[in-house]
Amino acid sequence: MDMIINLGLLLIFCAVLFLPFFMKKVEYNLEIFLFVCGAAALTIAGFASIPGATTGWSWTIIAEALTTPLDIARVGGVPIGIVQVVLIIGFLIYYFHHQLEQAINNIVDKLSIMVIVPALIIVLGFISSIISAILAAIILIEIINSLPLIKEVKIEITVVACFAIGLGAGLTPLGEPLSTIVVSKLSGEPYHADFWFLFHKIGLYIIPAILLLGVVGLVILRRWHSGREKLECIVEREAIGEVVVRAGKVYLFIMALVFLGEGFKPLILEFIVRIPPEALYWANMVSAVLDNATLAAAEIGPALSNSQITGALVALLISGGMLIPGNIPNIIAAGKMKISSREWARVGVPLGIALMVVFFGILFIPGWLGIAVPV
């Protein structure tokens, strides 16, 4: 029975991973597709029997799916819901788009776009740990979307910046749900995790990665911008109805991620958490399509060593940028800028794999050679 359940969940996982790239109807209705897949996974998971774990449909899961889009992070104890933020920012841009357009044009007049873009990637990457990944992503989109760049370049820079935001958000409990969960689970013996625990744990790796992503953004910009004449910045003014529809799609998207995370719990508990640290590092690439907070909740615990915790966290944070469902900033950016799954993956997958290879070498190879690595 368990084999049939796992096979069914694996088929759904493959559908989530591949169908958006090969079926236009799925790609154009990604929110509905993921919601249906999440509901199917949750239904199948209900037949699994895992000691000490509750699987399948429950009122708790339904309540979580309904409320998570409205309370996905907390800043100073105040709940921040992604749907409310999307609505509020959308309304503000609708009513003040001329002022925003003028402000951005003034910045571009005074500073080279070659300075603005890498600085934006780096600054948002760092401050996302304080203002939350949600707000950082909203700020990113409105600035990038209005810059005098062709769409292809905007997409590439947006994907790079979302990597930076996702990485930076993992440095404090204010950044994203993953970091909040990890600090909570490690607050007791032997780690006594506090507000700065993650910064001390992975900051040595994350900070250089954000700086490197700023350089990547500059390289992308130079490839296009060389010899081009200056263009005017234009801030798009959406209709009120479009703002509301986009917020509704984001709500459905987050609900789908909750269902997928809970629905795939049997696979996570049965296989992923039992593999060795080096293999777990690569297995965490599944967070490109699953909620990395769910994986962190299943994997991270006080029984893990320092090196296991560091490796798992770095892999989860990097992999979250590879595909649209992997992280909240990706979802916001793709929805606002109409970035398709294929367009995102064209940039996100090779960039994510490159970062994974680099950090695998940094985290694990020295240990194989008997060299101590800071963890």
Q: Which of 111-125, 166-180, 232-246 has the highest mean pLDDT?
A: 111-125
In a domain, 277, yes or no: no
In a domain, 315, yes or no: no
In a domain, 342, yes or no: no
The pTM (predicted TM-score) of the whole model is 0.82
Is the pLDDT assigned to residue 209 strictly greater than 90? yes
Exposure of 346 in the CB half-sphere (CA atoms within 13 A) = 12
In a domain, 335, yes or no: no
H or E, element range at 78: strand 78-80
Selected residue with higher pLDDT from 158 and 338: 158
pLDDT of residue 193: 86
Segment 23-77, tens digit of pLDDT: 888 877 888 998 999 899 999 988 877 665 667 888 888 988 888 777 755 555 6
Note down the domain range covering 67: 2-267
In a domain, 158, yes or no: yes
Is the pLDDT assigned to residue 121 strictly greater than 90? yes
229 pLDDT band, cuts 50/70/90, is very low
pLDDT of residue 77: 60
Segment 141-192, tens digit of pLDDT: 888 887 878 889 999 999 999 999 999 999 988 788 788 788 877 888 888 8
Percent of the chain with pLDDT over 70: 89
Is the pLDDT assigned to residue 353 strictly greater than 80? yes
Total domains in the chain come to 1
Question: DSSP secondary structure string, 180-243?
Answer: HHHHHHTSSTTT---TTHHHHHHHHHHHHHHHHHHHHHHHHHHHHHTTPPP---------HHHH
In a domain, 362, yes or no: no
227 pLDDT band, cuts 50/70/90, is very low
In a domain, 128, yes or no: yes
261 pLDDT band, cuts 50/70/90, is confident
